[in-house]
Amino acid sequence: MWSIDHPFVLWALALALAPLLWHGQRTLPHGWLPAVPPDPASRVLALALRLTGALTVVAAVLALSGLHRQGSAVEHVGTGAHIVITIDRSASMSDGFAGRDAKQGDEPKGQAAARLLEDFVRERPRDLFGMVAFSTAPVHGLSLTADQDAVRAAVRASAAPGVGLTNIAAGLTMALEQFRDKPVTGSRVVLLVSDGAARIDARAQNQIRRLFAENRSALYWIFLRSAGGRGPSDPPDPEKGFDPAPEYFLNEYFLDLGVPYRLYEADTPDALQRAIADVSRLQNLPLRYLETPPREDLGGICLAIALAGSLVLLLARSLEVSAWSR
Amino acid sequence: MRASLRHFAATRGARFWLVAASGACFAAGIADPALHIERTVGTYMLVFDITQSMNTQDAGRAGARTSRLDFAKSLALDALDRMPCGTHAGVSVFVERKTQPLLMPVEACAHRAALADAISHIDWRMAWAADSHLYYGTYSALNDIRTLTPGAALAFFTDGHQAPALHAGRTPAWDGKPGDIAGLLIGVGGDTPEPVPRLGDKGRIEGYWTAEDTAGFASAGAPTQSVADMERAGGDLRNAPQRAAGSDNDHLSRRRDDILEDVAQITGLGTLVAGTPEQLAARLRALPGGHLTDTRFSLRTPLALAGLLALLASLVPRVTLRRLPRLFHFRSS
């Protein structure tokens, strides 16, 4: 497909009329023109020279307008996925992991998650990534995009100390909305990274269930266990009186969603890395993706035509006579 | 041979040489030579105030008023478009006392789509709280830059509206060094107090904040006074509402240049009343800091233009040329 960077420059194409009106050739006075016999070859030559001038002007103007050819995107089939990283940015993400050797001054969960997710993104150059963060409210980071640098910048930004609560329902809803009206050209994944859970009310439960079904997205939940905290696999203990255990019930709810679902519990950065590696392996399904060929600049070709035209004109000028020969 | 060449050159007129020059320009243009210009470009953290006063519809041109936040968003993008490639920009939002970065700085030309995506989705509903402590917010933005993106400059889009208002003399202290981090506080909004809309979930205006609403909010406590102080102030003030003086009209909002100036004074930032993208781009580029980048300035366009002009000049009939001086000839009486 041909296109032009600066269409307004095309107005200068009117200048191509100049060589048709003005021949620019040396004229010599002659005593009596009617005495000169008609010379069709000269007339053809004169016209050809004018047209050459016009062509040269057109070529130069096209070069100025930034003419180029942009191939249409070509579809390839590779392996990969469309992944919306949905990351918890609540205040507790600045705390350390739960693991046995955990001590003060360890890498906060949020920073470890951001670091490992950044590597994850780097290792999957063909995937499309979206980014959603949530604390009390969901925060749109990036729509699904192939711009890896931007995705990594958004992941890095999520390492900053968080604020507020863990509103998982809002985060999931926003993440699933990312798939809306997008063609299903590969497997879809919501990669939920959080260190806590919250009760999701019945209305939100239904909405999220519907969105998962509509968008045919899988769910991976990487749960970062806090020191002293409990995880999704710990059922509530009736002995201890009232125990909401939101993580446990959220896991039960996810199991019941009817979409591919997997839970990873990570209580050390190493465990988190293993979980991410596992997601990476699982998501190597066929993926259709578009690749736009690089733009082909036609300015050089235009200038070559202009050069050829001006050389022809130069030849004509150099053959001009300065006086009538006897 | 030499003599005949010299004769050839001498007998050719200006038109021959003009065509030759145009050919030379085209030939040089094909090779696409370029100048490499070193330019200083900056890295900017664009911080958007997303508190509810930013929803006030008093920004932009008269007749096409938009909310302060929408205005700030499009102003930021337009200004980025007017800055040289190599400029980096990151995106962050402010509510309550803190800023939350959404996107670390990325190059503004190659990643324009991502920047536009992140900026255009900024919404007051991202807020995790409703207060607006601008002093703390600015300190938080500067702190983010110090710890996360050293070397970046701050561009903070805000209306300066503090909610709740501060008591006189209770300005939050800052432990940084003024001017350590360069930046601008960009004031958006109008000069006259306007009601702040209450938006519903779908973004429709459902009403406006009233004086009664704002009077009910928590505020920083007034300084403790002794009985003697209270008597001097005229009566028992113990049960009087603890609101900062002059905050009766807190439900109305205008651009608070005085607050922005005060924050700027403390932190060494500059201030600017939001106007055109050109003005903002120029002010941002004038900030100290930044890094050198090599900008390739292609000479193909100037060469093609020169070739075209030389070619056209070679065509102008001699008659016209001879008449030209007459246009500039003044008859002497």
pLDDT digits (tens, 9 = 90+) for B84-110: 888 999 999 998 888 999 999 999 888
Q: Cβ distance B15 to A19 under 8 Å? A: no
Q: Cβ distance A288 to A73 under 8 Å? A: no
pLDDT digits (tens, 9 = 90+) for B109-151: 889 889 999 999 998 888 878 778 889 999 999 999 998 888 8
CATH of B38-294, picked from 3.40.50.720, 3.40.50.410, 3.30.465.10, 3.30.230.70, is: 3.40.50.410
**Contact (CB<8Å) B118/A142:** yes
For residue B166, give how far its alpha carbon lies from the nearest alpha carbon of chain A (Å).
23
Best mutation target among B142, B311, B316, B319 (most A Cβ atoms within 10 Å) is B311
Contacts of B47 in chain A (CB under 8 A): none
How many beta-carbon pairs below 8 A join chains A and B? Answer: 163
**Contact (CB<8Å) B103/A150:** yes
Contacts of A27 in chain B (CB under 8 A): 318
Beta strand B205-208 with B197-199 is antiparallel
Both tokens of B173, joined, read: 């202290």
Domains of chain A and any CATH numbers: 2-27+36-70+295-318 (no CATH), 74-291 (3.40.50.410)
Of B105, B110, B127, the CB nearest to A137: B127
A299-318 and B14-31 helices, crossing angle to 10°: 160
Torsion of CA A129, A135, A139, A144, to 10 degrees: 10
User: What confidence score (pLDDT) does residue B170 get?
Assistant: 76
Of B32, B104, B122, the CB nearest to A156: B104
pLDDT digits (tens, 9 = 90+) for B169-225: 778 888 888 888 999 999 998 888 888 888 877 777 888 888 777 766 666 666 667
Beta strand A138-145 with A128-134 is antiparallel
**Contact (CB<8Å) B98/A163:** yes
User: What confidence score (pLDDT) does residue A137 get?
Assistant: 85
Rounded mean pLDDT of B310-318?
Answer: 83
| Rounded Cα distance, A56 and A300, in Å | 13
Q: Which residues neighbour B38 within 8 Å (Cβ) at sequence distance 6 or greater?
A: B292, B293, B294, B295
Whole-number average pLDDT of chain B: 83
Predicted complex ipTM: 0.75
Which residues, given as ranges, of chain A have pLDDT below 50? none
Q: Give the distance, in angstroms, between the CA of residue B108 and the centroid of all CA atoms in the same chain.
A: 13
pLDDT digits (tens, 9 = 90+) for B285-304: 888 877 777 777 888 989 99
pLDDT over 50 at B333, yes or no = no
**Contact (CB<8Å) B311/A63:** no
pLDDT digits (tens, 9 = 90+) for B152-172: 999 999 998 887 777 777 788
Q: Which residues neighbour B128 within 8 Å (Cβ) at sequence distance 6 or greater?
A: A135, A136, A137, A163, A164, A165, B95, B96, B100
User: What confidence score (pLDDT) does residue A93 get?
Assistant: 80
User: What confidence score (pLDDT) does residue B332 get?
Assistant: 47
For residue B229, give how far its alpha carbon lies from the nearest alpha carbon of chain A (Å).
40
